[in-house]
């Protein structure tokens, strides 16, 4: 860059000349101060240059950031009541209610799996592998409910637990047998949960809640699809082996996993 001063008897101008030939006016950034004409200057006006107090960001980009002014509207949104969340921001009542509904779904599923664990653990049923599988499934669904509760609190919502439906206690089926019937029931429940999660994701999208949508996608949907695939394979295997000795071998496979 080359700074060039142009002097005349009537006016002075200051330009910024680039090596590529372009000229940019920097008069908002710099100011000039003239001095009296003396005999040695031969009629020319002497110019000195100093920095102006005008912000370079204002002059060059036109963008003005005034944090204390812009934050005023946010300060007005901070609740003063002690029973209201301070962390809540752009979290709709519909999303809050949908999260509470999903918590109830997860707890209901956990309760059903716990009942299935108790059934297969009976001494006259004695399918310890299936009992182990459904006990682990019950714990996993309860962890899902707790994860949703933690998220609800993180966003400034209120967790409202709902009643849980009393599950079945008997899973014997005359034609299919208890193992196949129980696994088909598990598959239908996992598909139902997946549908509920998709509904929750739809609520988040409708309300423009990007964070909630991402949370459902990253923490639940992939895992749910994988669970449906695994249980579908179990159902197919039990249909092949039939009741009796084949079920016992399937049970041993689950026990050793």
Binding residues for Fe cation: 106, 141, 144, 190, 224
What residues have CB less than 8 Å from 58, skipping those under 6 apart?
64
19 class by beta-carbon count within 10 Å (0-12 exposed, 13-18 middle, 19+ buried):
exposed
Q: How far is CA 42 from CA 48, 117, 177, 188, in A?
A: 17, 106, 114, 99
Q: Which residues are annotated as a binding site?
A: 106, 141, 144, 190, 224
Q: CA-CA distance, 114 to 112, in Å (whole number)?
A: 5
Q: Is 86 helix (H, G, I), strand (E, B) or coil?
A: coil
Give the C-alpha separation, 132 to 80, whole Å: 50
Residue 54 DSSP one-character state: S
């Amino acid at each position: 860059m080359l700074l060039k001063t142009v002097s005349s008897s009537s006016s002075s101008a200051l330009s910024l000349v680039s090596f590529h030939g372009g000229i940019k006016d920097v008069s908002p950034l710099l100011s000039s101060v003239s001095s009296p004409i003396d005999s040695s200057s031969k009629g020319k006006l002497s110019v000195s240059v100093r920095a102006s107090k005008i912000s370079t960001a204002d002059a060059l980009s036109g963008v003005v950031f005034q944090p204390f002014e812009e934050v005023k509207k946010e300060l007005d949104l901070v609740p003063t009541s002690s029973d209201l969340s301070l962390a809540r921001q752009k979290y709709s009542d519909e999303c809050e209610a949908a999260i509470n509904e999903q918590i109830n779904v997860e707890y209901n599923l956990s309760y059903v799996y716990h009942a299935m664990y108790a059934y297969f653990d009976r001494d006259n049923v004695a399918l310890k592998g299936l009992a182990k599988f459904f006990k682990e499934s019950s714990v996993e669904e309860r962890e899902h409910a707790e994860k949703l509760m933690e998220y609800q609190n993180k966003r400034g919502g209120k967790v409202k637990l709902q009643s849980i439906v009393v599950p079945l206690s008997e899973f014997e089926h005359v034609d299919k047998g208890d193992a196949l019937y129980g696994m088909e029931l598990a598959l239908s429940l996992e598909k139902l949960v997946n549908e509920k999660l998709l509904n929750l994701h739809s609520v988040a999208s409708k309300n423009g809640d990007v964070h909630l949508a991402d949370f459902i996608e990253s923490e639940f949907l992939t895992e749910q699809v994988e669970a449906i695939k695994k249980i579908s394979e179990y159902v197919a295997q039990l249909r092949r082996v039939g009741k009796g000795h084949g079920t016992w071998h399937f049970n041993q496979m689950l026990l050793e996993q």
